[in-house]
Amino acid sequence: MARTDILPRMGLGTFRLKGQDAFDSVTSALKLGYRLIDTAQMYGNEEDVGRAIRESGIPRDDIFVTTKVWWDRLRHDDLIASLEESNRKLGLEQVDLALIHWPSPNDEIPMAEYIGALNEARGKGLATRIGVSNFTIAQVDEALAAPGGDQLVTNQIEVHPFLANHKVVKHCQAQGLQVTGYMPLAVGKVMNEPVLNQIAADHDATPAQIALAWVLSRDIVVIPSSTKPSHQEANLEALDITLSGEEIERIGKLDVGERIANPDFAPAWDE
């Protein structure tokens, strides 16, 4: 099953955005041309994100909306209820993509149960597509082999110049899964990196734009988060930057396995 090139190449992440900040961020992003909006039930902003989408005046079919089910709601009935709740909060009939936010800690809930439930939710019309997030190579393989796993389209993982995540990225892409990279700017750390600044100067760009261009060059969807329209617009411009093979290699050497999202319930990561 061909599962690549389903998501827009760049979207807006909304992690840590609440209330009016979330509404304003999504509103400005949509005005600038963003068409992928990424939220999650755990973010606590689905109502604000949904309101911005509805009030944007942009046809619903032109906006790709992703939400996620938190790890404490992975039992079959609770997962279905979680997505029903997300759609109500968003004010949408269905989301375009529903993800398992994190795999069940210590495999407390069998993966077959929640992948099956996620696919059932898709069948019920709660989501057009389904996927996973923060899954390791072994977990990706287990998910793909589970009933309904053949419907998975993406694995959303942390990717930035300091955490290239090569093994997982290559494995997912080899399996036909699109990779979505979150925190592509390493929470702003890219701005002070000398190599990124040098390459940025050569392109009359910013280090953030270079970091995004590098992730994009690996056929990874990026979802940077920003509340400032000027930053959102600059991020979009990264789509037009083409890095040379030598520049891509230089940036690749910045990888030190520096993981930002690493809660105590995270899986045993692939090194």
C-beta separation of 152 from 130 below 8 A? yes
233 falls within a domain: no
Q: CA-to-CA distance for 113 and 118, rounded, in angstroms?
A: 9
3-state DSSP of 38-106? ECCHHHCCHHHHHHHHHHCCCCHHHCEEEEEECHHHCCHHHHHHHHHHHHHHHCCCCEEEEEECCCCHH
Residue 43 falls in the annotated catalytic set = yes
- Flag whether 101 is in a domain: yes
As a whole number, mean pLDDT of residues 152-159 equals 98
5 pLDDT band, cuts 50/70/90, is confident
What is the domain range of residue 144?
12-184
Catalytic residue among 34, 43, 114, 182: 43
Q: What is the mean pLDDT of residues 171-180?
A: 98
Element (H, E) at 37: strand 36-38
Residues with Cβ < 8 Å from 201, sequence gap 6 or more? none
Mean pLDDT score, 170-196: 98
- Asked whether residue 35 is assigned to any structural domain, the reply reads yes
238 found inside a domain: no
The structure tokens listed for 70 are: 């938190």
Instruction: Supply the pTM of this predicted model.
Output: 0.97
Task: Look at residue 2 in the predicted model and tell me its pLDDT.
Answer: 46
Q: What is the pLDDT of residues 88-120, one digit of tens each?
A: 999 999 999 999 999 999 999 999 999 999 999
Alpha helices in the chain (DSSP H): 19-32, 46-55, 76-90, 111-123, 137-145, 166-174, 194-203, 207-217, 229-237, 245-252
Whole-number Å distance between alpha carbons of 28 and 230:
10
Is residue 193 a part of any domain in this protein? no
In a domain, 235, yes or no: no
Query: For the segment 39-87, what is each residue's pLDDT rounded down to a tens digit?
Result: 999 999 999 999 999 999 999 999 999 999 999 999 999 999 999 999 9
Question: 177: which DSSP letter?
Answer: P
Range 182-210 average pLDDT: 98
Residue 53 domain flag: yes
Instruction: List residues forming the annotated binding site for substrate.
Output: 101
Supply the angle between the helices 19-32 and 229-237 in degrees, to the nearest 10.
Answer: 40
The full length of the chain comes to: 271
Residue 241 predicted with pLDDT over 90: yes
Backbone conformation region of residue 266, classed left if phi is above 0, alpha if psi is from -120 to 50, else beta:
beta
* Known binding-site positions: 101
Q: From CA 145, how far away is CA 141, in angstroms rounded?
A: 6
Residue 7 predicted with pLDDT over 80:
yes
CATH number at residue 107: 3.20.20.100
d(CA 37, CA 116): 25
Give the residue-averaged pLDDT of 147-160: 98
Give the chain's domain count.
1
DSSP symbol at 204: T
